[in-house]
Each structure stands twice: as structure tokens, then as C-alpha cells.
Structure 1
Amino acid sequence: MTSKLIKGLCFTIVLAFTYACGEQKTSKKADKTETEDEIKLSAVKDTFSLLKEPPAHIGVPDGMVWIPGSVYMQGAVPGDAYAMGHEKPQHSVAVNGFFMDLHEVTNAQFARFVDATNYITVAERPIDWEEMKKQLPEGTAKPHDSVMQPGSLVFRKPGKPVPNLYDFSQWWMWKIGANWKMPKGPGSSIEGKDEYPVVHIAFEDAVAYCEWAGRRLPTEAEWELAARAGRKNQVHPWGDDAESLAKMANTWTGEFPVSNTKNDGFEGSAPVKTYPPNDFGLYDMSGNVWEWTSDWYNTNYYKQLSTGKTAYDPMGSSEPYNAGNPYAREKIIKGGSFLCNASYCASYRTSSRMANSLDSSLEHLGFRTVATVDMLEKDSDG
């Protein structure tokens, strides 16, 4: 595949990926939607009527852990030198308690879902150009039919140092045939990798799994509460010590994207539960693979929440909006991945966030699920 085709398809399918690890840019349209969302705000109180402990009649679902309800400050913590503009300003949120998966959904878990439902992931389906171009600037050229085939984005190391870290086509390649069963494309497999996180999962795929499992995706506020695990104003799930990174998370150690020292033990993804859990007992809330949340990405949303009041159980913006690409319809992903490096994005930090288009799947993107007391009570009644 030529460099021109690679760049064209990468641009078409993951246009929003340019906001993965770089400072958000503003545009004249950036203020357009600042007041469009109706956000339910509650005056700050000493205590909220939050569900902090599960009812006695509700048992902890297998493979999950209880996250107690709490009021906390969401967003970039003071003094975080790596914080990006779209992680600010820090703002107060109140979140009710819920159950969350101990780890990212694994290949074995996803395989059981596929076996039970005959589900076909987005990466395995023919590409619908008419649907795709709705998210792109008018006049965007259709990539050649030779590359408009089912597949996904796969990481590859460039053969030499890259001139800049903004041209993502230098290390992302559209690989025909890449999907959750063949994460590197034809010839690769997940044999022997039952306990690795499933990847190449588009938003629709994650939602379908959740519906089958009687779960849902976490909101961004839920995800960050769980990742912080009660640690206030600390950069990482384990604290502020960046020197412990290789022991605590699966990230890129070395010069990104050309050489990886594997000081953390892995170059690609790692089996779940390889690294120490956070204080809530959750694994891989930093690094390994990015995780979907249910929230729309909206450039202005954090500004809208910074009112001096506390947002109660925020569900995210009511609509998507990316100041750099108004055509995009994106959801927020959290947690960083095995490709995160301090020289590039440092997205293994708790407040890190990224916008990802609904139909984009990548080698470093998976998910985990949550369940609320209401959901479990409904299941038991039904």
C-alpha cells in the first residue's frame, strides 16, 4: 500500500485521532455550542444523597468490584505538567456507587459473546462509504476500492525516527483483515491469548456486548472516579511517582514510536491483571489498552461544568462537538495504552482523555463494563 493511500484512509476513518495526544486547537466555531447543553447542576453541599454501599440483597457480580459513590474533582490535577487543554478545568462531580469489571473485557469473554450471538464486529463488515463521509468535510475524496475493505488500524514501528509526532500515518496502518480475532491482520491470531484484552472494538461492538451481558459502558465521570480510587489530586492511579510507571502499567518505554525497551515486560498489550491493581482492586486503569466510555466528546463540556457547583451523576454532553472537526461524532475513551509515552502524550495519567469516532477500531482500543444496583435489581425481577 502506498504512503498516499495509507494517509488517505487513516484520515478518512480516524480523522479525530489527531486529537489523541496533542493540545486541542481552537477555531472560530469553538464558542458555538458553549451553552447548548443543559447540564443538571446541584448546589455544593457537605454531603450528597449518594449510594456509597450496595444494598445487602445485592451480591457482587462475578468479576466485578463495588465502586463507592463519592464527590470528587474530575479533570487535570494542579501541577500536572502533561495535562492537555481538554482535560481542564478541574470541576466537581458527584457519582453514585456502581459495580465495575476488575479488568478489561478479554478475548475469551468476547468470544463467548460471539459464540452465543453470532455477532460480527464493525471491523469485519464491509465499509459503508455513504455513512462514513457524513463525518467528513464536504468533498473528501473516497479512498481507492483496493483499500476500502474490512479491516482495522494496526500499529507498526517506523524504520527510522519520525520528523514529527503529529503525522499518525507514520505508525498507523490500515490493515485489511485485521479484527479482534486477527489483531495484526491475516496470519495473526489470539490463540493462547484468552486473558489478553480484546481489541479492534468499535463503539457499537462494545455496546452490543454490554447488552448481551446485562451491563453498560461507564460514563467518563464513573470511569475517572474508579481510576482515582479515592486519591485526591494525584496524577496516576497509584500516586504522583512517574518513576514507578514501568512497574505499575503497560506503556511505551523507549523512544516513541521507533524503539521500545520493554522495561515494563511487554511491547504490545499484556494479559489482564499483569500489573498491580489500584486501591479499589481494578487492573489496568492506566495503560494496556484504551477503554470506551458512553460520553460524547464535546470540546466545551468541561468548561460548561466549571460553574462552582457540583454536577450530579453527569452523563456527559448531550451532543458531540469537536472544535477542530465539527463533522466528527466521537465518544470519549480513557486510560491510555501500551503506546503511551511521556514524549508523545503521557496518556497513562488518570485525567487523560481522547476522542474516538464511533466506527473506528484500533489495535490498542478495548473496553470494560459497569452495572448499577438498578440494573441488577431489574434483572433479578425480570
Structure 2
Amino acid sequence: MNLPQSAARLVPLSASLAAALALTACANVPNPFGGAAAPAPAGAEAPAAAPAVAATLPEVPSAAPAARTAVLNSTYAIDGAIMPVMRGQQLTETRTDMRRNDSVLSFDNRLLRTFAGDTRSSDITRLDRKLVWTQNIAKKTYTECPLTGCPRPAQPQPDKPKPPEQPSKPSEPSCPLVLKKNELKVVATGERKAISAYNSERFQINWVMELEDPQGRRNSNRVQLDLWTTPEVGAVKEVQAITQAFQSRHAAAVSAGGEHPFGKYLPKEVMGSMGALLRNLGGANAKTTAAWGNELKKVRGYPMAMTLAWTADGNACGDDASAARGNTSAPSVGSLLGGLMGGGGGDGKPAGGPLLSYSYEVRTLDVKAVSDGWFTPDAGFQRAQ
């Protein structure tokens, strides 16, 4: 049975999250509100409870001309030692050649709430027109970019050309680390419960990585992803078919290469926050990637809820100073935690516990008629220059 390609692509986090992460000095980097929530992995702390985000998501129009569209309403939360607590709601409409995401975000931290201002966002991806519209709800403007993103502005040229710099040789790490363990396992727990009125079963995906320095000391990273999936029948099956068709076309349009198996489920912002880990410890070769793909075939159904926890420990390469200077072959735990709002999370949380926690839940799922005009910039919005 085919698996969904990405919760990032099933229900991508919006541009407001990316902006919020930049505000909190974590530019490359959800407990759902009410109802049944996916349980946190063993040993992980769930994001702290907080008031629900104000219901400011738009109403989806159905006026003609319209066509059948997969519609998902979901909630998410992000927390952890390297993150402030963020919570959001999303509304995503998908056809085989277009998608719209509307999102609203909130922070537990009062200062961040004040600084972030209006956190509503909206983006529209049109594969048929090979472009993306990103809307600024507060300013009633939008930008238009190719699917691969807008080109960066040209940098001003200096008055006098400088002599070309000689390329410097890359420095060898003074404390090289060797990958000793890199395993991904799927466990069908047998647990079952209802998620948004859909019967769901629980799967655990466990990824363990260990690095060793020349003195035999190790750093260990553990990523646990809990999935609650429901059988692909009825509306779920139709939503899955529409979603997979869009994802395949989008990947072909942007020439997307291979990705880590967790990318099938997690939004790109969460994957980005784990970037250093993925670059250094991801699937090292085709054999590993193939083995992980076979392991993931044990997961059945469509994901209705998920919870991720990333933890790390170890003392490879001694202190954290060497990692901060960039002379190790992979980041240490301390370098991952340090430098962000005094070395802890955005809400004054002490270092320790999961570096990153993410949770997501589908609240409603349906296939219904949605107006064609919903996949164009909102009326009254002006194109930003």
C-alpha cells in the first residue's frame, strides 16, 4: 500500500512558521487543541498546554465554477530544548495540479506573541501555471514566484573589481567522527483508538544513530516518530489519491531528489531544524535507503496524527568548544543547543529533554466542491513589487 509522501506535503506548515523560526534565530527550522491527541513517545515530554489559537482561518467557498478538492483541517505544535513553543491551525485544499494552505500560528511566549504580530499566512501552489503565490494577509498583498522560488536580488557590484581570491583548502576536522550505528525500525504496537472519529492504529518509527571519536567516546541521537494511521477507504482513500497525485507532479516539477524517510511525514520546516543531523547521519548509500524503504512498508494506512521526539546525548570529541569552532565532522549535542536564546528554548526552558518535539493531528477530512477562484490571490490583494 502506498504511503503518503509527506505531512509537509500532506499539510505543509505555512510561511508564517518559517518567518517565526527566523525571528527566534532558528531559520531552518505542534499539542493539538482539544480532542484526542497523539501520545508523546516514551520518555518525551508533550508540549505544554496552552489556550487554543483564535479561529481566524477562512471559510472555503463552494460557488461555481468548482471542482472536487481534498480538504484537510489540522492542528500542530512544535516544542523542545532548541525551540519556543509554537501552536497552529491549518486549512489545506488540494487538487492534482494545485494546492492552497491557510495557517494561523501562536506562541506561548508573550514576547514572541507581541513581536510576531499577525501570524496568519496563505500560499497557493499552481502546478498548471508553474508558480506559487504567497499572500501577506495583514498587508493584503501577494508575491508571485516560480515553483522553485524567486531568484535572489542581484548584489551591487563594487566600483573597482577586486582581485580574485585564492580558494582555501578545506580544513580537516581535528576530531573526526565515525558513524557506528544508523538503524531505522518500524514497530506495529497493536494499539488502536479513534482520531477525529476515524479508527486508527499506532506505529512507531525509531531511528538511532551513534558517532564515535578516535578515543571511543560516542554521541547518540534518537528520533522517534509515532504515527496513528487509519485505513485508506472512502473519503480517506480519495484524499490520499488526490494528495499523492499532487505530490508526484510537484516533485517532478521541482526536480526533487531523494529524501530521508521521515520526509514522508514531516513538514519541511521540522526537517530543516534537523538539517545538521540529517546531513551527517542520513542514509549514507543506496543500500541503506533501500533497507529503510522496505522497513517503512510495515506502516499501513493514512496518518491522522503523529508525534516526533528527537533526543541526543554523548561526549564524543570532549567539550563543545571544538564543535563550535567547526573542527569536528559532525555537530555535538552542545553545539546544537547553544546559541539560541541563551542556550535554551524560546520559553526559558532548560536544556535537556527532547531537542525537538513535533505533533500533528487531522481534525476534519473531506472531499468536496471548492471554487476555482479559491486557487487565485484573494480579491482586493495587490501584487507586491
Q: TM-score, normalised by structure 2?
A: 0.23
Counting strand residues as a fraction of each chain, which structure ranks higher?
A: 2
Q: TM-score, normalised by structure 1?
A: 0.23
Which protein is bigger by CA-based radius of gyration?
2
